[in-house]
Structure 1
Amino acid sequence: MNRSPYWPQSALKPLTLAVLLALPGVVLADETAAPAASETSAEDAPKLKTVVVTARRREEAAQDVPTPITTLSGANLETQKVYRIQDLQQALPSVNVAYVHARVSSLAVRGIGNNPASDGLEGSAGVYLDNVYLGRPGMAAFDLLDIEQLELLRGPQGTLFGKNTTAGVLNITTRGPTFTPESTFEVSGGERGYFQTKGSVSGPLTDTLAGRLSFYRTRDDGYLDNDYDNRKLLGGEREGLRGQLLFKPNDDFSLRWINEYNEENSSSGSSVVYGAGKTFWDRATLVGANPKIGRSNIDGRQNVSVHQNASSVEANWNLNGGYTLTSISAYRYWHFNPANDADQTEKNVIKDFGYEVHDRQFSQEIRLASPKGETVDYVVGAYAFKQDLGNRIFTDLGPLADLNLIGANLNALNNIYTESHGKVDTESYALFGQATWHLTNRLDFTAGIRGTYEEKTASIERLAPVGGGTALVIPGVVDGNAIRDAQVGAYDSGGLGLHSAAPSGLLSLSYRFTDDVLGYASLSHGEKSGGVNLAIASAPTLGADSLLVGPERANDAELGIKTQLFNDRLQFNTNIFWTQVDGYQATTYYQPPGSAVGYQLLTNAGTVRSRGVEFEASVLPVRGLTINANGSFNDVTYLDFKDAPCPAEAPGTSCNLSGERVAGASRWIGNLNAEYKFPLVDRFEPYVAGSYSYRSEAEGTLDNSDLAEIDGYALANFVTGVRVDYGDGLLDASLWVKNAFDKEYYLAVGTGSNGLYTASLGQPRTAGVTLRYDF
C-alpha cells in the first residue's frame, strides 16, 4: 500500500490502533459474537455518561455543541495520575505544551501559540480557571488541584471567551462546595524523593452556606544531574490551598467565592545543551569550558520562586421568565523570581540572569442567558479586564564575560551588573452576544459577535551599569567604553502605547441527521491584541517603536460530525479544519553583535496556515472496560515569513522561512487510555489502567534550526490498584509507573548566547504508590 511521505512509521501503529478501537466492527466484536448468550438487557447495558460543558456559556451536553471539544473529568485525571499542566498533552489532541518553568511556558492548539514567553505578550490559547481568564500562561503552572473537569475548545473562541483565544481555550473547572458532606485525602510516594499529599473537605456550614477547603503539597529531588557539582536539578517543592464558600439561600440565587494561594520553590528551568553553532563551541574553548550535548554543567545558581494568590466571586440569578444573570468578579496576583546560570558552562561568564515579573489583574464579566427551549437562544454580556505588569531583567557578569561574549578581553563587560525595568498596563473592554436560531427541530443557525477595545501603555528603562574596571581603548582600533555603553549602557524608552478596536465573530450551521448524529459547519474570526517587548533588545539602535508588535488575526473554517452510537456505548467525533493567522505573533531571540546577552524579541511572523483533521472516540466494549482515544494530523506552515531569524548553523541577518513548518507543531499526535474495572467481589474492586501518547517530531525554535529539532516520542503509563469499601468511605490503593519504557524526551527548546540551543528534559521513568480515601 502506498503511504504519504508525511506518515511516519512510528506513528502508524498508535494511530491505527486508536482508529480501530473506534470502529464499530471492532468495538462490538465481543457483543456480536454471541448475542443470544447475553444475559444483560439493553436497558441494563453499560452506557457512556453524558458530559455537560459550558462552551456556549450555558450548561449543555458536549455532543449537542457544534464545535470540537475534548473533555477530561477529574476522575480520569486522577486515574491517569495527571497533575501537571505540561502532562495534558499526553491526553489531549492537537495540543503542544512547551514547558521550561512557570514564566517560559505555552499552550499551543493546532500548532498556534508556541511563543508567548515575552512578558508583554499574551498567549494565543486562552486558559480559564473557574470562568476567569488567566493573563499569563504561567498562572496555570501549578498542580491540578480538586479538578471537576477540563474542556479543550479548538479554533478561535473570541465571541464568548474573549480576546487572545485565536487558537483555542482550555477551560478548567474545580469542584465546588457541596451541601452533602464529603472528604478526600490522598498521599503518594515514588522514586527520586517524590512525595505528594492532597485532600479536600466539603460540607454545609448552615442551611444556606456550604464550604470547601482543598490543599496540596508536592516535592521531589529532581532528575537532571549537574556534572559540575553533582547537584540534582529539576526538583523542588510546590504547594497550594483553595478555600471556597457557596451561599445559596434559594433555588434562584447562588454565590460562589473562591480564594486560592499557590507557591513554588524549585530548580525548574534547568536545561541541557541541546545543540550549538560554531561560535558557541569556539567561545567555550576560549574560556576553557567543556560543555557536552545532553548534559548540564553549570557553576551558578538555578532556582525559581513563584507566588500567586487569587480571589473570585461568581453570582448567578434565575430571573423571571427563565433568564439567567451571571456576574464574575476576579483578582489575581502572580510573582515570578528566577536565578539562572545563563552561559551553560562551568566557567564564570554569566553569574546570574533572569526576568523577575510582578503581575496584577482584575476582571469583571456580566452576562445574560435567555430561557432554554425557545425558538432563539442567546447569551449577551459585557467584559472588562485590567492588567498591571512589571518586570526586572538583571544580568550579573563574571570575569570571563568578555572572552566568551565578545571573543576578546577588552574589560568592557567583565564583572558588570546591569538591570532594566519594564512596565505595561492594559485596559480592555468588550461587548458580546451569541444567538442560536432553531430553524427546525433538526437545523440550527448560530451567529455571534464581539467588539473589543484595548489600550496598552508601557515604558522601559535600563539603569547605568555597576562595577567593572577600566575598559581597553586603542584609538582607531577598538573602544571598550563604546562597547560597554552600547550593550549595557543606560537607556529610557519613554512612553509607549498601543490601542486597538478588534472584532470577533462566528457563523455556524448544525444539522441533527438522527437523534445520535450531529453534523456542523462553521466560520469564525478571532483577534489577539498587540504587545510590547519589555526587554531593551534592539531599541537603542532601531528605536523604541521596534519594541511594539501588532495584533494577530485568525480566520477559521470547521466541518465536523458528532455521533453517539450502539445504545450509547460508542461515541465517535471527527472534524476537519482550516485556519489562517495573519500577523502571527512570535517570540524570537536577538543578540546584538558583541552583546553580553541576548534578548527576547517580539515579531509578527507573517502569515501562518494550520489545517488538518482530528478525531475522538470513547467506547464501552464490555462491562467494566472504558477506552478513550483521540488523534490529530496538523499541517502548520508559514505561508509568508521572509524576515525570520537565521539558525546557528547558517548565521545571517535574516532568513526566509516561507513554506516551512511552524515551530513547536507536531504533525501527528495520538493518545490512547483505557481502564478496566474487575467485577466487584466482597467489597473489593481491582482495576488496571494504562495510557499511551505519541507525537511526531517538531521544529524546536523559531529559526527552524536542524540543531534544535525535537525528535518524536511515545510515552506509556500504567496503573494497577484496588478499591474497597472501608468504614464509611472508599479506599483506593494503587501502584503506578510513568514513562514506563524510560523514553528520553524534551518538552521545549530555547535559544541562548553565541548560537546555543538548550532543552527542557522530560521526566524519566518514575514508579510509585498512591493511597486515597474518599469518605
Structure 2
Amino acid sequence: MYSYNRTSQRPTWRLKRLPLALLLAGSAGWGSSYAAESSPPPAANPTTQAQTGDKLQTVTVTARRREESAQDVPTPMSVLSGQTLESQRVYRIQDLQQLVPSVNVAYMHARQSSVSIRGLGNNPASDGLEGSVGLYIDNVYLGRPGMAVFDLMDIEQMEVLRGPQGTLFGKNTTAGVINISTRAPSFDLERSIETSVGEDGYFQTKGTISGPLTDELAGRFSAYRTRSDGDIKNEYDGHDLNGGSRQGFRGQLLYKPNESFNLRWIGDYNEEDSSAGTRVLYDTGPIINGRNQYETRAAAAGATLVNGRHRKVNLDDDQRVTVFQGGTSLEANWTLPSDFTLTSVSAYRWWDFTPRNDDGLNVPAAYNSGVSVEDKQWSQEFRLASPKGGLFDYVLGAYYFGSDLTNKSFTYYGPQADVWNGTAPGALSNVTSIGDGKIRTDSFALFAQGTWHLTERLDFTAGVRGTYEEKSARVRRNAPVGGVAVSGPAATQRRGRTGAYDSGDLNQYSATPSGLLNLSYRFTDELLGYATLSHGEKSGGVNLAVGSAPVAGADSLLVGTERANNAELGFKSTWWNQRLQFNANLFWTQVNGYQTNAYDDANRVQYLTNAGSVRSRGIEFDSSIVPLRGLTLNINGSYNDVRYQSYKDAPCPPEVSLVAGAPASCDLSGHQVVGASKWIGNLNGEYKWNLSNGFEPYVTGSYAFRSKAVGTVEDSDYGQIPSYAVVNFSTGLRGNYEQGQWDVSLWLKNAFDKTYYTTLWTAANGGYEGLLGNPRTLGVTGRYDF
C-alpha cells in the first residue's frame, strides 16, 4: 500500500535566497496605477509601443464609474495594463494571483472556480450562489466565475479593487471587484497577429483587426485558439491529462456620429474541450488505530495509488470538461446639456458546462460523476454622471439583473462502489443516481454616490445602494436505477445516498443595503490620504444538490445573507518627478453570515453553508519605480490575517470525523479561513534599451511568493497548502518592418520547476486531492503589429 504525503513526510518549503537579477520581474503597471512613459511608436497600434521613457505615466481608470487618474481614487486598487498582460503571457484569470496582492483564484475548471480578495469569497462550485468578488467585463457583471475562464485576449486594462464596492458595482461585491476592459474599435487601422509554441504541445495563436467601416462606424474583430497536450501522466493508459483546446472570438462595432454620442456593440463566443481540473492524490489522510481508511479501502477495491507530486494519476475512465459560452452587450453614452453623461448598458450571456469526472482510482468505484450546468443571464443598467469641477459631483443609477440556471447532478456507480464507500454490499454498486436543480433570480437596485469638494484639498464621498432580490428554486433527485434488490442497512444507505427526493418550491426574498463613507485629503500634489467606512451585503442562495435535505429538511438547502463591514486607512503618493509611486493601506473587515463550501462525507457532496463570522485584517502596498531610463521595477505585497471568529457548527477534519464516536460538528472559531495566505509578495521588473540600428532588446521576469494556506474548510492537518514561490523569465527583441513592429521573445515559466499546489479538494475516506501549478515550460512567441 502507498501512503502519500503524511505529516511526517510532508516536504518543507522555504523561500530561498535569490540573486537580484531574479527580482527584476514583470513589466510596467503591475500592482500599480502607473505605467512607464512611452515614446511615439512607429506602429499604428498604441498598445505595442516601445516604452523608452524615464517616468511613470498616469493611468486612467473607471473605478468610480467615470474616467479619472488612478492616483486620485481613494480606494485600494491594482491596475494591470493590457500590454503588461501580453508581455508577461498572463492570459487566464487564474494567473492573476501571481501579479497582485491579497488575491486568490481557486481554480479547478470552469465550474469549480472562485476568486477571493483578502481571504473572502472562496466558494467554488456554488450553482445557487454568486461570488463575493464581482467580475465585470466591459461593464457587464458575470454571474458565474466560470464565465471568465477563457483566454483574455485584446485586453485594454484590468482593475482589481479591494474591499466592498457595493455602492457602484453593486451585485454582491462584498470582497472586491475585478473590472476588465477590452480594447474598443478604432478609427485608425490596427492589425495584430501572434503565435506561441511551447513544451507539452502548447500552441496558441491570436489575431486582431480593427479600423473604420465608415466615417461614423468602426469595427474590431479578435480571435484565438489555444491547445496543449497536458502535463499530468495517466499511468493507466499512458495518456497525458490536464490539457486540451480553447478557442473563441469577439466582434465589436462602435458608432460615433459626434462627440456627444457613441454606441458600442460587443458579441463574443468561447468554447473549451479539455481535461482541465485533473486532480492528483495529495494526501491519504490520517492513520487511526493503525489503519488508514483511504489506503485500506483502495486496496480492498484493487486500486493502485500513485504519487501525485510526480505529476501522475491512475484513472481507468475519462477526465473531461466541455464549456460553451457567449454573449452580447450594447453600451450607449450620451453627453447631455451642461455636460451630464447618461450611460445605458444592456447585456445577455449564456454558459453551458458539462463534465466527465473519474473517481480518482484505476478501478470502477464510479464510472462517471459530476454536475452539468446551463445558465442564462440578462442585465440592464442606467447611470447618470454629473459634470466634474464644481462643489459637488455625483453618479446615480438603476440596475436589473436576472438569471435562469439549471443543473443536472449524476453519479454512475461501478461494481467496486460499496467497497470504496464503505457501504453494505449492494447498496451502491452498479446503481445510477441522477438529480436536477433550478434557480431563477431577479435582482433590482437603485444607487447613488456623490463627492463634496469641501476645500481645494479635502473631499467627502458618500454612497448608498438598495437591492431587492427574489430567488425561486427547486431541487429533485430521481429514484435510483440499477443494482440489485436489497434490504436492511443496504436499503437504508441506498435511500440516503440515491433515494428519490423533491424539495418542492423554495423561495428566498432579500432587501440588502450597501453604503460608503470616504474622506480624502491631498496633503501635497504628490500625496493623497484617505479613510473609508463601507458596508456590503451579499444575498443568500440555495444548495442545488440534495445532500442531507431528506433528513434535515428542505430549509437546510437555503443559505442566508452575507454582511460585511469594512474600514480602510491609506495613502497614495508619487515622488521623484513621477519616477516613484508608493501606495499603502490598512484594512479591517468584519463579515457576518460568511458563505462558504463544506463537505458532507456521509453523502459525499459539497454544500453551501453560513460559517458564522469572519474577521479579515492586514496591510497592503503597491510600488513602482523607474531608477534609470528603460528600467521599471515593481513590488507589491500584503499581510492578511483572516480567521473565523465564530464557526461552531463546522465540518470536522478526518482525524476527528473518522474516529469512533466522533462529534457531528466541530468548532473552528479562531481557525484561519480556507485559501488565504498570510503573506503574499510579488516583485516585477523590465529592462529595455535601444540599439543604434533601431532594434530594442528587453528582458523581463517575475517572482511571486505565497505563504502556506488552509486547503479546505475543515482545516485538517492533512489538507494544508505549503508555501511556494514561482519565478518566470523572458527575453526578446523588437524592431520595425515597413509600417509595423515585430516582436520575438523566448520565455520560461516556473523557471526552477517548483512543484506547488494552487487548490486542494476534499476526497473520500479522509483523503485529499490537489491541483498542481504549471511545471517549468519553455516557449517562444512571435508577434507583428501593423
- 1:51 equivalent to 2:59? Answer yes
Partner Cα distance (1:552, 1:423) in 2: 22
- 1:320 equivalent to 2:326? Answer no
Amino acid at match of 1:311: T
Give the match's secondary structure for 1:164: coil
- In the TM superposition, residue 297 of structure 1 has moved relative to its aligned partner by 1.1
- 1:100 equivalent to 2:108? Answer yes
Question: Counterpart of 1:291?
Answer: 305
Question: Counterpart of 1:463?
Answer: 478
The one of 478, 492, 503 aligned to 1:493 = 503
Question: Counterpart of 1:37?
Answer: none
The one of 150, 156, 164 aligned to 2:158 = 150
Give the match's secondary structure for 1:431: strand
User: Cα–Cα, structure 1 residues 405 and 20, in superposed 2: closer, same or farther, change >3 Å?
Assistant: closer
Partner Cα distance (1:483, 1:102) in 2: 32
Partner Cα distance (1:407, 1:546) in 2: 25
Question: 1:110-189 residue pairs with structure 2 within 5 A?
Answer: 110-189=118-197
The one of 636, 646, 650 aligned to 1:630 = 636
Identity of aligned residues (%): 61
Query: Quick check: 1:11–1:696 contact (8 Å CA) kept in 2?
Result: no
Partner Cα distance (2:635, 2:84) in 1: 13
Deviation track 1:112-154 (CA, whole Å, cap 9, x = no partner) reads 1112321111111110000000000000000111000000000
How many residue pairs get aligned? The number is 735
Question: Counterpart of 2:296?
Answer: 282
Question: Counterpart of 1:619?
Answer: 625
Query: Quick check: 1:311–1:331 contact (8 Å CA) kept in 2?
Result: yes
- 1:311 equivalent to 2:319? Answer no
Query: Quick check: 1:283–1:407 contact (8 Å CA) kept in 2?
Result: no
User: Cα–Cα, structure 1 residues 121 and 11, in superposed 2: closer, same or farther, change >3 Å?
Assistant: farther
Amino acid at match of 2:334: W
- 1:695 equivalent to 2:695? Answer no
Partner Cα distance (1:241, 1:392) in 2: 28
- 1:606 equivalent to 2:612? Answer yes
Partner Cα distance (1:544, 1:352) in 2: 27
- 1:340 equivalent to 2:357? Answer yes
- In the TM superposition, residue 764 of structure 1 has moved relative to its aligned partner by 0.1
Amino acid at match of 1:761: L
Question: 1:224-243 residue pairs with structure 2 within 5 A?
Answer: 224-243=232-251
Query: Quick check: 2:23–2:701 contact (8 Å CA) kept in 1?
Result: no
Question: Counterpart of 1:36?
Answer: none
User: Cα–Cα, structure 1 residues 209 and 19, in superposed 2: closer, same or farther, change >3 Å?
Assistant: closer
- In the TM superposition, residue 628 of structure 1 has moved relative to its aligned partner by 1.4
Partner Cα distance (2:194, 2:254) in 1: 24
Question: Counterpart of 2:444?
Answer: 429
Amino acid at match of 1:367: R
The one of 541, 551, 555 aligned to 2:565 = 555
Question: 1:515-554 residue pairs with structure 2 within 5 A?
Answer: 515-554=525-564
User: Cα–Cα, structure 1 residues 724 and 191, in superposed 2: closer, same or farther, change >3 Å?
Assistant: same
Most deviating of 420-429 and 277-286: 277-286
Gaps of 5+ in 2: 1-12, 27-51, 286-291
- 1:453 equivalent to 2:468? Answer yes
Amino acid at match of 1:376: F
- In the TM superposition, residue 624 of structure 1 has moved relative to its aligned partner by 0.5
Query: Quick check: 1:280–1:755 contact (8 Å CA) kept in 2?
Result: yes
Amino acid at match of 1:495: D
- 1:765 equivalent to 2:765? Answer no
Partner Cα distance (1:132, 1:685) in 2: 38
Question: Counterpart of 2:34?
Answer: none
- 1:356 equivalent to 2:372? Answer yes
Partner Cα distance (1:116, 1:228) in 2: 29
Partner Cα distance (2:421, 2:651) in 1: 19
User: Cα–Cα, structure 1 residues 18 and 220, in superposed 2: closer, same or farther, change >3 Å?
Assistant: closer
Partner Cα distance (1:569, 1:735) in 2: 29
Query: Quick check: 2:24–2:633 contact (8 Å CA) kept in 1?
Result: no
The one of 624, 644, 647 aligned to 2:650 = 644
Deviation track 1:201-243 (CA, whole Å, cap 9, x = no partner) reads 0000000000000001000000011121111110000001000
- In the TM superposition, residue 483 of structure 1 has moved relative to its aligned partner by 2.4
Question: Counterpart of 2:200?
Answer: 192
Amino acid at match of 2:599: Y
Amino acid at match of 2:411: T
Give the match's secondary structure for 2:584: strand
Amino acid at match of 1:458: A
User: Cα–Cα, structure 1 residues 748 and 45, in superposed 2: closer, same or farther, change >3 Å?
Assistant: closer
- In the TM superposition, residue 158 of structure 1 has moved relative to its aligned partner by 0.2
Amino acid at match of 2:490: G
Partner Cα distance (2:649, 2:411) in 1: 28
Query: Quick check: 1:163–1:526 contact (8 Å CA) kept in 2?
Result: no
- In the TM superposition, residue 754 of structure 1 has moved relative to its aligned partner by 1.9
Partner Cα distance (2:86, 2:692) in 1: 23
Partner Cα distance (2:506, 2:525) in 1: 56
Query: Quick check: 1:163–1:527 contact (8 Å CA) kept in 2?
Result: no
Question: Counterpart of 1:389?
Answer: 405
Query: Quick check: 2:678–2:708 contact (8 Å CA) kept in 1?
Result: yes
User: Cα–Cα, structure 1 residues 689 and 19, in superposed 2: closer, same or farther, change >3 Å?
Assistant: closer
For normalisation by structure 1, the TM-score amounts to 0.93
Partner Cα distance (1:666, 1:172) in 2: 25
Gaps of 5+ in 1: 1-7, 22-43
Give the match's secondary structure for 1:485: helix
- In the TM superposition, residue 85 of structure 1 has moved relative to its aligned partner by 1.0
Partner Cα distance (2:482, 2:439) in 1: 29
Give the match's secondary structure for 2:63: coil
- In the TM superposition, residue 650 of structure 1 has moved relative to its aligned partner by 1.8
Which runs of 4 or more aligned residues in structure 1 lie more than 6 Å from their structure 2 counterparts after TM superposition? Answer: 11-15, 17-21
The one of 757, 760, 767 aligned to 1:746 = 757
Give the match's secondary structure for 2:58: coil
Query: Quick check: 1:14–1:670 contact (8 Å CA) kept in 2?
Result: no
Question: Counterpart of 1:675?
Answer: 686
Partner Cα distance (1:128, 1:730) in 2: 32
Partner Cα distance (1:322, 1:642) in 2: 55
Partner Cα distance (1:619, 1:689) in 2: 15
Query: Quick check: 2:25–2:700 contact (8 Å CA) kept in 1?
Result: no
Amino acid at match of 1:670: G
Question: Counterpart of 1:35?
Answer: none
Question: Counterpart of 2:271?
Answer: 263
- In the TM superposition, residue 18 of structure 1 has moved relative to its aligned partner by 8.0
- In the TM superposition, residue 470 of structure 1 has moved relative to its aligned partner by 2.3
Question: Counterpart of 2:47?
Answer: none
Question: Counterpart of 2:226?
Answer: 218
Partner Cα distance (2:155, 2:672) in 1: 35
Give the match's secondary structure for 1:460: strand
Deviation track 1:640-680 (CA, whole Å, cap 9, x = no partner) reads 11111111122142111111111100000011111111124
Amino acid at match of 2:350: Y
Deviation track 1:258-296 (CA, whole Å, cap 9, x = no partner) reads 000000000011110111333222211221212234241
Give the match's secondary structure for 1:541: helix
The one of 489, 498, 503 aligned to 2:513 = 503
Query: Quick check: 1:525–1:553 contact (8 Å CA) kept in 2?
Result: yes
The one of 714, 717, 724 aligned to 2:728 = 717
- In the TM superposition, residue 482 of structure 1 has moved relative to its aligned partner by 2.8
Question: Counterpart of 2:38?
Answer: none
For normalisation by structure 2, the TM-score amounts to 0.92
Question: Counterpart of 2:785?
Answer: 774
Question: Counterpart of 1:404?
Answer: 420
Question: Counterpart of 1:10?
Answer: 15
Give the match's secondary structure for 1:336: strand
Question: Counterpart of 2:574?
Answer: 564
Give the match's secondary structure for 1:86: helix
Partner Cα distance (1:587, 1:714) in 2: 27
User: Cα–Cα, structure 1 residues 45 and 497, in superposed 2: closer, same or farther, change >3 Å?
Assistant: closer
Amino acid at match of 2:415: P
Partner Cα distance (1:591, 1:395) in 2: 16
